[in-house]
């Protein structure tokens, strides 16, 4: 078995992927043609150029433009089903999909209708594509207290059946102004039984990672690559084995690293940290979950290293114990090349 064949066959779990960012090029083109005047290109060549990001703020502007195309609950269900189809083709068994209720609220979608669309899509994802879908509700941090309130209200008042987590993303440098509101939202979400899975240390330094740990009770951290700037933080992450959801191609495309060869994935592993591999916004970054494993191999990871990352994702997920055992058995049964 070649390494590519091994990666293709490896049972996978996706823990860090965004609803709007998972929309295929074909789906975005369909929506942009349906809703002209959005600023999103209506032909493929221009759309791919639109997805060439200069930095994270530029990526955030493009993401918001694409999100403006998601105007009806049926659009939400279509996006989830499309992701399930794509992940199923990559031997993925389970995904935790980050949904941003605030983005749907400002488009005028009622909470109840969004939740109904998410519930329907989760059922179809498992029935039609063999991918069990769970949801994480995500605050876009740059929108402050209103975004925190709307996200929390949806999570507590009209949650989809598969809601497992509560997170925060967006431009990290904007968060300090709203720190108390974000901490309060996470406290309430955790009290309601939701897991804390915030982004941190993607585009800002270790102070953001410390904040999601100490102020938000993080159980898993999105990205976290800037932890290497703080030896005390690295030691804390190593001791606690707090998982970091790493997305190499995303970090390249949003300008967090200059070259893929510069990605700190190998060093993070050398430091003994607990990592999972993920795709973040795959069509926007011209990647897939499978490709992220191939990127990791090109960075020097062996087949056994990749299998261990797949196991890490299973164990760091919020699947049931029985489901975890089933996927782990599949990984262990796959011979390494």
Calpha distance 305→224 (Å, rounded): 20
Active site residues: 202
- At 244 the three-state DSSP class reads strand
Instruction: Output the CA–CA distances (angstroms, integers) from residue 144 to 108, 148, 191, 201, 221, in the order listed.
Output: 19, 6, 21, 19, 20
- At 32 the three-state DSSP class reads helix
Nearest to 122 by CA among 76, 86, 157: 76
**Contacts of the segment 22-26: beta carbons below 8 A, 24+ positions apart:** 22/79, 22/82, 22/83, 22/86, 22/97, 22/281, 22/282, 22/283, 23/66, 23/79, 23/82, 23/283, 24/82, 24/86, 24/283, 25/283
DSSP 8-state class, residue 335: P
Q: Output the CA angle 289-290-293, nearest 5 degrees.
A: 95
| Cβ(200)–Cβ(223) below 8 Å | yes
Nearest to 337 by CA among 302, 292, 296: 302
Q: Give the list of residues 6+ apart from residue 235 with CB closer than 8 angstroms, or none.
A: none
Calpha distance 158→317 (Å, rounded): 23
Q: Output the CA angle 30-53-182, nearest 5 degrees.
A: 90
Calpha distance 300→6 (Å, rounded): 16
Calpha distance 201→295 (Å, rounded): 21
């Amino acid at each position: 078995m070649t390494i590519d064949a091994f990666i293709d066959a490896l049972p996978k779990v996706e823990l860090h992927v965004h609803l709007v960012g998972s929309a295929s090029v074909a789906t975005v083109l369909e929506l942009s043609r349906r809703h002209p005047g959005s600023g999103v290109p209506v032909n493929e060549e221009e759309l791919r150029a639109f997805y060439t990001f200069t930095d994270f703020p530029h990526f955030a502007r493009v993401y918001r433009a694409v999100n403006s195309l998601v105007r009806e609950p049926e659009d939400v269900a279509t996006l989830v089903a499309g992701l399930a189809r794509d992940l199923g083709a990559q031997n993925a068994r389970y995904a935790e999909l980050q949904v941003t209720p605030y983005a749907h609220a400002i488009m005028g979608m009622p909470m109840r209708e969004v939740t109904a669309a998410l519930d329907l899509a989760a059922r179809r994802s498992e029935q039609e594509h063999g991918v069990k879908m769970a949801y994480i509700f995500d605050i876009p941090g740059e929108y402050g207290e209103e975004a925190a309130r709307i996200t929390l209200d949806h999570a507590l008042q009209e949650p989809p059946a598969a809601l497992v987590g509560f997170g925060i993303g967006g431009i990290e440098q904007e968060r300090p102004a709203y720190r108390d509101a974000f901490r309060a939202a996470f406290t309430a979400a955790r009290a309601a039984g939701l897991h804390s899975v915030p982004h941190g240390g993607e585009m800002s330094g270790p102070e953001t990672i410390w904040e999601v740990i100490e102020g938000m009770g993080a159980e898993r951290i999105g990205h976290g690559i800037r932890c290497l700037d703080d030896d005390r933080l690295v030691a804390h992450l190593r001791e606690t084995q707090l998982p970091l959801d790493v997305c190499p191609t995303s970090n390249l495309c949003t300008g967090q690293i200059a070259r893929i060869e510069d990605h700190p994935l190998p060093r993070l592993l050398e430091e003994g940290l607990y990592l999972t591999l993920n795709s973040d916004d795959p069509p926007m970054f011209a990647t897939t979950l499978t490709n992220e494993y191939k990127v990791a191999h090109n960075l020097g990871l062996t087949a056994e290293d990749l299998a261990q990352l797949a196991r890490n994702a299973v164990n760091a997920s919020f699947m049931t114990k029985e489901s975890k055992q089933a996927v782990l058995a599949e990984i262990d049964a796959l011979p390494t090349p």
